[in-house]
Amino acid sequence: MRLPEAFSFSSPLKINCGSRALENLPTELAAFNANAPLILANRDQVGKKRVNTLIDAFKTSGLTLGIYDRLPDQPQPDLMPVLARIYRDGGCDSVVVLGHGSVVDTAKCLNLMVSAGFQGRLDGAGRDVTDPGPLRPLMLVATAGGNGDEVTGFADDGVRRLCSPRLIPTVAFIDPSMMKDHDDRDVVDGALIALVHAVEAFLDDTAGPMCRAYAHTAISLIVKHLPAVLRKTDRKKSLCAAVNGQVAAGCAFFSSTPGLCHLLATRLKEGTDLPLGFLMAILLPHMVAEVGVNQPERVGELMYPMVGADIFAVTAADLKTPRTIALFWEFFDALNAELSVQIPSAIGDTDLTGEQIERAQSRLASDPSDDLVARILEGARRGVSAIDN
């Protein structure tokens, strides 16, 4: 394992996972002398039953609860002062958020507002680069359908993309009782985003060994358990495992540099209704193949979390890279066997036009890796046949 000359890794997140994980919520809050949490949720997203289950976790705690379970599907800047007023008027001292996606973004932004305000300096990407100092406890009750971004220091307030390690939740709770039976496409979309983030973090030479350890865990959990989720094999348990993988992927993603699959898919998404994770999946095998040309050993190491130590050990060194790429195709085929909306094997199978693809490529034209971008896109246009050749 190569050790970079310099790297930085921080994962302050604590994880409580299991069938009684929610029972630890009052104890975790008490560790920070917090006794009046504000619970945030989108009832339409998670269902009234799960909101009530979360409230029941505090039944014998003696804590005073504030509850707002009507959060919108997208961040709304005008709502933030309202939530801050509810927080302050209710004498709240912490935040508990149930859900994923923009609901968690709203909770992060609210915690920043009530703890430190929004005053700060932005970098060229519009991210806040001023350290706001310690924030109040933020407890995340995770649900299926996320993509790992929930446990990062990123947050979208509806106007800008905030970035600070302080925004990372204090504790994440992964409890089977919170694993609502979400739409399969949404679950797969989030898991694929997390998987690609983990693979790119694993291949990032500057990220360091701790980041790779989180990425290794994420890849293993998602690849092993996501097909079982779709086959409805002990679904809640499988969902918990996949969500654990997404959490690990989020920790790795925040400590690494966003890779080309992430950047390209984000730009391509502007021209299609296809889920972002599906776009990332189209690009992933071709990105891995290109990296494997110059770093076959590094790509070959990706096989380990996908198949385990025994098979990895008996596979010849020169076969590990092509076998790793084949495993990704096999994984996507296994998902497609259960999905009504398929993961396309090539960009040509999507509704993206050649002009839209070229525009996405041109937006990265000033990047030193532009030739690599062109090769990945050309491979993605041709699909699996490009790698066979």
- Whether 43 is covered by a domain: the verdict is yes
φ and ψ at 306, to 5 degrees? -85, -30
CA-CA distance, 277 to 329, in Å (whole number)?
A: 15
Confidence at residue 121, expressed as pLDDT on a 0 to 100 scale: 43
Confidence at residue 367, expressed as pLDDT on a 0 to 100 scale: 58
Confidence at residue 291, expressed as pLDDT on a 0 to 100 scale: 93
* Per-residue pLDDT reduced to its tens digit, 95-109: 999 999 999 999 999
* Shared-domain flag, residues 308 and 335: yes
Q: What is the DSSP letter of 176?
A: G
CA-CA distance, 316 to 234, in Å (whole number)?
A: 35
Domain that holds residue 146: 14-118+129-178
Confidence at residue 365, expressed as pLDDT on a 0 to 100 scale: 61
Residue 120 pLDDT > 80: no
Confidence at residue 124, expressed as pLDDT on a 0 to 100 scale: 42
Residue 4 pLDDT > 80: no
* Per-residue pLDDT reduced to its tens digit, 235-288: 889 999 999 999 999 999 999 999 999 999 999 999 899 999 999 999 999 999
**Burial class (CB within 10 angstroms; exposed 0-12, middle 13-18, buried 19+) of 351:** exposed
* Per-residue pLDDT reduced to its tens digit, 300-333: 999 999 999 999 999 999 999 999 999 999 999 9
* Shared-domain flag, residues 371 and 327: yes
Residue 181 pLDDT > 90: no
Residue 201 pLDDT > 70: yes
Mean pLDDT of the residues in the chain: 90
* Shared-domain flag, residues 349 and 254: yes
* Shared-domain flag, residues 202 and 328: yes
* Per-residue pLDDT reduced to its tens digit, 8-66: 777 899 999 999 999 999 999 999 999 999 999 999 999 999 999 999 999 999 999 99
Query: Which residues are 17's β-sheet partners?
Result: 174
Residues 6+ apart with CB under 8 A from 386: 286, 378, 379, 380
* Assigned token pair, 68: 């707002």
φ and ψ at 121, to 5 degrees? -105, 135
- Whether 6 is covered by a domain: the verdict is no
Average pLDDT over residues 137-143: 97
Higher pLDDT, 1 or 77: 77
- Whether 333 is covered by a domain: the verdict is yes
* Per-residue pLDDT reduced to its tens digit, 331-361: 999 999 999 989 999 998 998 888 888 888 8
- Residues 179 and 243: beta-carbon distance below 8 Å: yes
* Shared-domain flag, residues 146 and 172: yes
* Shared-domain flag, residues 309 and 330: yes
Confidence at residue 218, expressed as pLDDT on a 0 to 100 scale: 98
How many domains would you assign to the chain?
2
- For residue 24, what is the domain's CATH number? 3.40.50.1970
* Shared-domain flag, residues 33 and 160: yes
Residue 180 pLDDT > 80: no
* Shared-domain flag, residues 376 and 283: yes
Q: What is the DSSP letter of 13?
A: -
Q: What confidence category does residue 362 fall into, taking pLDDT thresholds of 50, 70 and 90?
A: confident
Within 10 Å of residue 349's Cβ, how many Cβ atoms?
Answer: 14
- Whether 170 is covered by a domain: the verdict is yes
Give, in order, the Cα–Cα distances in Å from 374 to each of 199, 205, 316, 329.
20, 22, 31, 21
* Shared-domain flag, residues 51 and 152: yes
CA-CA distance, 236 to 181, in Å (whole number)?
A: 8
Q: What confidence category does residue 234 fall into, taking pLDDT thresholds of 50, 70 and 90?
A: confident
Instruction: Please state the pTM of the whole predicted model.
Output: 0.93
Average pLDDT over residues 152-179: 92
* Shared-domain flag, residues 266 and 364: yes
- Whether 8 is covered by a domain: the verdict is no
Within 10 Å of residue 140's Cβ, how many Cβ atoms?
Answer: 28
* Shared-domain flag, residues 174 and 188: no
Confidence at residue 385, expressed as pLDDT on a 0 to 100 scale: 62
- For residue 367, what is the domain's CATH number? 1.20.1090.10
* Shared-domain flag, residues 58 and 170: yes
Confidence at residue 370, expressed as pLDDT on a 0 to 100 scale: 66
Question: What percent of the chain is predicted at pLDDT more than 90?
Answer: 73
- Whether 252 is covered by a domain: the verdict is yes
- Whether 191 is covered by a domain: the verdict is yes
